[in-house]
């Protein structure tokens, strides 16, 4: 019983230490979301909960309502950054997300404060979200993210913030964006207002390549990506990509899924030419595509 009481007190203490850095973010209808006072005058929250660019209000832990200005957003990592004057001096105490292990206890906090307790259910390597964001490590959670918890902190057993909770990066999965990623992306958003990512302007789906065709054309992989949509006047359309083409390589490297393609489309590639190998009507074709910048939401 003493051990249980000690654990209970430790968890309550972690909540009490973190609560002053929580803010309520009012940037959508109905349910607000949670934000973290990350550094003086800067709040980070989940991008998918910020439904407007203006008239954003944050409510501090002591009940003050303050106007917030959107400094930038990155749908790829589900991160939005707000500038807020008058927040006070309490900022998040950051932990080391690289030290997290499967089975570690963790707390998800929401405005109020409210809390959910569980464990780290899975840790994985660097991965790429379905919107192209590069996340430094996978942190999957076995706990409940109640309505409004997205954008709030994931707190480790010592009461330090190790991630930002979100339900916006994977269906039916509770994830946390590691603070390593939050810091990297937030710094770029504060500098430029956006995270630039390349795009080709095509929709694709994996298809299996018949063995005789692979042998005939000298293709390295057994899977390609069939083009199912081509954006009018997009980079690929201007390069001559057609519906039904099967993309098999970029810059001479075989591609078999969308992650392979995204790996070639970092911000540094915008404006440069990428060599695309496609299979068209049973023949091999080489195209040169000038990589564009992925349009921003609402642009």
Q: Which residues are catalytic?
A: 48, 78, 150
Q: Is 260 left (phi over 0), alpha (psi -120 to 50) or beta?
A: alpha
With beta carbons less than 8 A apart as the criterion, state whether 265 and 199 touch.
Answer: yes
Q: Where are the alpha helices (DSSP H) in the chain?
A: 2-18, 179-192, 211-217, 235-239, 258-262
Token match 């995270």: residue? Answer: 195
Please, what is the Cα angle at 72 between 67 and 76, to 5 degrees? 130
List of residues 6+ apart from 215 with CB closer than 8 A? none
Residue in 287, 298, 290, 296 with CA at minimum distance from that of residue 233: 290
């Amino acid at each position: 019983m003493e051990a249980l009481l000690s654990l209970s007190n430790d968890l309550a203490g972690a909540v009490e230490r973190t609560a002053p850095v929580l803010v309520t973010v009012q940037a959508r209808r109905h349910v607000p979301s949670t934000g973290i006072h990350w550094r003086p005058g800067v709040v980070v929250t989940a991008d998918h909960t910020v439904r407007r660019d203006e008239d954003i209000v944050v409510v501090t832990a002591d009940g003050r309502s303050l106007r917030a200005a959107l400094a930038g957003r990155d749908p790829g990592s589900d991160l939005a950054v707000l500038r807020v004057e008058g927040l006070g001096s309490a900022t998040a105490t950051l932990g080391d997300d690289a030290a997290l292990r499967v089975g570690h206890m963790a707390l998800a906090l929401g405005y109020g404060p409210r809390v959910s307790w569980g464990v780290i259910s899975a840790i994985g390597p660097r991965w790429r979200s379905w919107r192209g964001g590069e996340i430094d490590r996978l942190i999957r959670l076995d706990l409940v993210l109640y309505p409004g918890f997205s954008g709030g902190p994931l707190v480790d057993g010592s009461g330090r913030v190790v991630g930002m909770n979100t339900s916006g990066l994977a269906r039916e999965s509770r994830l946390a964006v590691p603070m390593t990623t939050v810091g990297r992306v937030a710094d770029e958003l504060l500098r430029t207002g956006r995270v630039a990512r390349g795009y080709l302007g095509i929709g694709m789906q994996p298809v299996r390549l018949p063995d005789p065709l692979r042998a005939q054309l000298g293709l390295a992989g057994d899977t390609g990506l069939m083009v199912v949509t081509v954006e009018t006047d997009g980079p690929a359309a201007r390069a001559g990509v057609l519906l039904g083409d099967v993309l098999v390589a970029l810059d001479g490297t075989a591609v078999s899924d969308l992650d392979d393609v995204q790996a070639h489309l970092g911000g540094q590639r915008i404006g440069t030419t990428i060599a695309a190998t496609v299979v068209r009507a049973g023949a091999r074709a080489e195209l040169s595509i000038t990589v564009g910048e992925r349009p921003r939401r609402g642009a």
